[in-house]
Amino acid sequence: MARAVLAELLRFIAANEDLPRTLARYPGYDRDALGRLIDAAADRVEEIEGAKEPAPSGGSKGVKVRKQSDVERAARRSAAELDEAMELSKVERDRRKKQRAAAEAAERAAQEAAEAAEAARRTRLYTDGAARGNPGPAGAGAVIVNPEGHIVAKVGKFLGDSTNNVAEYMGLILGLKRAKAMGIHELEVLSDSELLVKQLHGDYAVKAEHLRPLHEEAQALLHGFSSIEVRHISREENAQADAMSNRAIDERL
């Protein structure tokens, strides 16, 4: 009877418990795998109990054979894996952990390379804004570069006296409107304004009342493209859009 209760208890744990400490102890297993292992342990308990039952009196005393199902075979394989894990030395566990970490790092590197290759095939929009005095004479600028690396459009606008943040948003809006007018559907937007990028990603709230309409207009324009990515870059990488925004101030474009 005790073993029957134990098997029932194991199956309850397999089906209902989260097992956080067990998952931490055996990082190579997920929750589903642990559940299968515990189910396998319950099977073993039942087998031991069955082996100890006395043979029925009278009639044939042949051995009773229970056909093994696919689930039972999988449970036994899982039990064998658990036995192996329990018997591994710390050195071997650490070695396998390093192997998994290396494999995950390689997978991440491959994914990043694939994303970079995909980004290289998209048209890029560089945007910037400048305000001399902040507030002061301000200008917005944007430069569109095709996948082959050729500049296909430049746009700039003098804004009068304004702030740097307003100029940054205006550079983005001008560039998005021009890209849309050119029939571009997939776009990578690049800006050296961390505030603008994080607000567009939703990481920062738009607290300034005068920026909210610009933020809403920019978001509406971004959603008009079939594929869009907004990314922060350094000022050095954004030199052409910076030059365009300053030109807008100098030439009152």
pLDDT at 61: 35
The average pLDDT across 5-22 equals: 79
Question: What is the Cα gyration radius of the chain?
Answer: 32
| Phi and psi torsions of 241, nearest 5° | -70, -35
Q: How far apart are CA 17 and CA 238, in angstroms?
A: 53
Of the pLDDT bands very low, low, confident and very high (cuts 50, 70, 90), residue 71 is low
pLDDT at 50: 65
The average pLDDT across 32-52 equals: 75
Q: Are 173 and 217 in contact (CB under 8 A)?
A: yes
Q: Is there a single domain that holds both residue 218 and residue 147?
A: yes
DSSP reduced 3-state for 158: strand
Q: Which residues contact 185 (CB under 8 A, 6 or more apart)?
A: 225, 226, 227
Walk across the sheet containing 123-131 and list its strands: 151-162, 136-145, 123-131, 186-191, 227-232
Residue 233 included in any domain: yes
Of the pLDDT bands very low, low, confident and very high (cuts 50, 70, 90), residue 81 is low
Residue 98 included in any domain: no
Number of domains in the chain: 2
Q: Name the residue with higher pLDDT: 71 or 139.
A: 139
pLDDT at 100: 76
Residue 202 included in any domain: yes
Residue 93 included in any domain: no
What proportion of the chain, given as a percentage, has pLDDT over 90? 49
Q: Are 177 and 221 in contact (CB under 8 A)?
A: yes
CATH number of the domain that residue 144 is part of: 3.30.420.10
Q: Is the pLDDT of residue 58 over 50?
A: no
Q: The tokens of 11 are what? A: 């199956």
Q: Which domain holds residue 35?
A: 2-53+69-87
Q: Are 242 and 141 in contact (CB under 8 A)?
A: yes
Asked whether the whole model's pTM tops 0.75, one would answer no
